[in-house]
Each structure stands twice: as C-alpha cells, then as structure tokens.
Structure 1
C-alpha cells in the first residue's frame, strides 16, 4: 500500500475542519476542567496549522517557474573564467585576450 503525501491545500482543509469540530464541541460541552483546556489548546494548534498550510498553498500557487538561463553575451570571452578576468584589470590586456580568442 502506497500512501501519498498530502498537499498544503488538503492539510489546510483537514486542519480547519478539525479545529471547527473541536470548537463546536467546546461550545456545546462548556467544560471548564483539564479536558476543556486541552481541547482549547488543540483547537488553537489546529487553527495555526490550517493558517500556515493555507499560506503555503497560496504562496506555492502564485510562484512563477524559475527563469530560463540566458545565453552569455557574444563578446568573444567564452573560454575565460572569472579568476582570469578578475586579474586582468587593464583594458589593453582584455583587448589582447579578445583578439587572441577571435583569432582561434
């Protein structure tokens, strides 16, 4: 048997229904003992879980897919790494490297 991982929307719905059920139970019973306090705390916990899961679902739904990587600019420096470019701070040296790569 394979169990599927529930999504944020399903978690939000189940937690909200459980919190509502416990809240109605608390209002009908009107218990003011240890069990009433425990039920109230569980109700608050379930409401918080429902809120966080609902926010996660909303954020995931509004997220855009990651952008496609763009191609490098055609300046003729495809074979040079960042360390080499960092050491070449002179414009004449960069020009010489470009000319050397164009000659290949």
Structure 2
C-alpha cells in the first residue's frame, strides 16, 4: 500500500510544479534560454505526473482481489464441453448423451 500513496504523491507534486511553471511562463513571457529551459521542465514534469497516475491506477487494479469462480453443480456445462462443441452438435439429445458420458467418466 505504501507505493500507491507514493505514486499519487509524486503525481500531485509533479502536476503542481508543472502548473506553477506554466503560469510563471505565461505571466512573465520569457523568450530567452531560461524560458526554453522552464518550458522543457514543465513538459518533463507533466510527463512524470502522467506516468505516476498510470502507475497508481495499475497498482489499484493489481491490489483488487479477483473473486473466485464458482465450481460444482452451478456450472452449466461439464468440463470439456465448450460453446463451439454445443453449437456444432445442436441436437439436445446429442448434448444430453455427451453430458451423460462425461458424468460416467468422472464417476469412474
């Protein structure tokens, strides 16, 4: 959890610094070497902020637990019978026979 707050902190600090640099560039209207350096630093800080936000989002999704899939009688099709097989068969009697065959194989 420590890294999530670190990435968010970096994003906020970098965005605030980029905004401050942008406002100062607009207000002063510098058109010399220092102005170019400040503009490049502003772009760099904006990129750092974007990367930090992306890192925080990825850590949030990675930290969220994935709910387990229910197994057992609630499962509509036995293992080995996928949607393509059922579509190919099409006949209900053939599907019942295949399910019965899989049940017999599982019982043995």
Question: What is the TM-score when the length of structure 2 is the normalising length?
Answer: 0.52
Q: 1:20: how far off?
A: 0.2
How many Å apart are 1:61 and its aligned residue?
Answer: 4.6
Superposed CA deviations along residues 29-69 of structure 1, whole A, max 9, x for unmatched, are 10101000000000000000001101111x3353234789x
Structure 1, gaps ≥5 residues long: 1-5, 69-104
Separation of aligned partners in 1, 2:52 and 2:38? 21
Please name the residue that 1:19 is paired with: 18
Q: CA RMSD in A?
A: 4.1
Given the two structures, how large is their TM-score scaled by the length of structure 1?
Answer: 0.54
Structure 1 residue ranges (4+ consecutive) displaced by more than 3 angstroms after TM superposition? 65-68
Q: Give the structure 2 partner of residue 32 of structure 1.
A: 31
Gapped regions of structure 2 (runs ≥ 5): 69-108
